[in-house]
Amino acid sequence: MSGFEFSETHQAVEEFLRRYCTEEIEPLVPQLEEGSLSSSEVLRKLSATFQMKEMFAEPMLMARNKKRNEDEANKSGGSGSGSDPAIPAILFKELSRVSPGLSLCLLSTFGCGATIASKAPLELAERLALPLLSLETVGCWALTEPATGSDAFAMRTTATLDGDTVTLNGSKAFISNAPCADVFLIYARLVEQASDRDDKTRIFPVVVEKGTPGLTLGKAIRKMGMHACPTGEIFFDDVAVPRSHLLGDPAKPARDVAEATLSTERAAIVAMCLGVIERCLQDATRYAIDREQFGKPIAAFQLTQQKLARMFVAKENVQNLLLKLIWLQAEKRGTPAEISGAKWYATEAAVSVAMDAIQLMGGMGYSSESAPERLMRDIKLWTIGGGTSEIQQLTIAKHLLRQEGFSIDLAGGYSNDASQT
Ligand SMILES: Cc1cc2nc3c(=O)[nH]c(=O)nc-3n(C[C@H](O)[C@H](O)[C@H](O)COP(=O)(O)OP(=O)(O)OC[C@H]3O[C@@H](n4cnc5c(N)ncnc54)[C@H](O)[C@@H]3O)c2cc1C
């Protein structure tokens, strides 16, 4: 990254992916949407072409062991680009220009794989994370439950420890990739004593593999958009897995793993929004020039020009936010307010740009033949998923007020430490 744009290397990756997505993936979108072609098949092909194993999976696992990483880096003369946050951002952006649903499948598998790669014992990480991050298998990660969405840490699914076994009971709802996943990363409340049942800090990820007795799946739900990515429920009835599948130290609060996954997801969502905005602006601009009414191109009308200008400014803002997030990720910095602010702005901007594109394109915009119609339905998810726009605003306010000694929680509670000093 240099200044306000991607570096030359990043631009080359962007160009390569743009061509691949346009030529190889876009023609398959109708089949992905109707479900006659699975997203995992398309992603596996992308992975082989883009050498995901070498780009992400292996470098991420190498980073687990610093010494081994250094040895490998010395041998190969450099480290993989798995540590460069711009590369996945470009991947999410370019995929979202043609199919945000496909991008969501990728995000869910990456979210599951990256957590296992960084937190699981090495043997488990190598066995499960490598194929996930190479997109050979499908992963999902599950926080939301039927009764707990925004209040995610009030979850009811429990994990209990008995010797070398962890047992899960409960259920999850609205989980992307659940109907087709090979590996499930389940957030559960670790209950060792009665008081743990209300403790919102004892939230641990537990790895469950497809076919484990007691694990059952609901059918894929019908929904407004993101048709390329199935969403469903997961049920746990005494699902027993080895102790090594519980990630983290039960002696310590572990909610930070879930929070870190959410932050990474929010940055990826900003990249997806930029892809949708770029595509809508491009299609709307071309349409405005080609479409004639009252004897001239509609691009000649100032109300059309105003829409294009508004879309352009949204693109510039979201692009700048994404470049800043990538920089923050590389520097291992970033406050919750910065991340939530970017997610909130980008998702609302993407919906608004897609709606502007539809309006500008008239009947053609409303028709399923146009990309903006589908992109709008897909991207609307992100004002809800990964934390709603309302929750992002509360998170920003919480962070700002805390700096002044005024503490709030998302349930409306507060304490004013500043007034007591
Ligand atoms: C297609 C799809 C895919 C998904 N994929 C996943 C996944 O892979 N993994 C996963 O864990 N989850 C996933 N989710 C769940 C998603 O993260 C939740 O839907 C989201 O967090 C909101 O929760 P909820 O739907 O229960 O809404 P609720 O929490 O019931 O909220 C309803 C409304 O109340 C508002 N609200 C709630 N609390 C407050 C408050 N304190 N102040 C003001 N307003 C408030 C909300 O903003 C919202 O407008 C997915 C959802 C969908 C639709």
Task: Provide the pLDDT for residue 244.
Answer: 96
Q: 142 CB less than 6 Å from ligand 1?
A: yes
Structure tokens at 349: 């901007």
CA of 144 relative to ligand 1 center, distance in Å: 8
Q: Is 265 a catalytic residue?
A: yes
Closest ligand 1 atom to residue 140 Cα is: 8
For the stretch 168-213, pLDDT in tens is: 999 999 999 999 999 999 999 999 887 777 788 889 999 999 999 9
DSSP letters, 98-122, are H-HHHHHHHHHHHHHHHHHHHHS-H
For the stretch 351-364, pLDDT in tens is: 999 999 999 999 99
What interhelical angle do 255-290 and 302-330 show, nearest 10?
A: 150
Half-sphere exposure of 102 (CA within 13 A, CB side): 35
What pTM value is reported for the model? 0.94
Between 263 and 35, residue with greater pLDDT: 35
- How far CA 72 is from CA of 121, 127, 228, 320, 359, in Å, comes to 20, 20, 38, 35, 54
CB atoms within 10 A of CB 57: 26
Task: Provide the pLDDT for residue 193.
Answer: 81
The model's confidence at residue 260, banded by pLDDT at 50, 70 and 90, is confident
CA of 318 relative to ligand 1 center, distance in Å: 23
Closest ligand 1 atom to residue 412 Cα is: 41
For the stretch 10-50, pLDDT in tens is: 999 999 999 999 999 999 999 999 999 999 999 999 999 98
Q: 221 CB less than 6 Å from ligand 1?
A: no
CA of 336 relative to ligand 1 center, distance in Å: 18
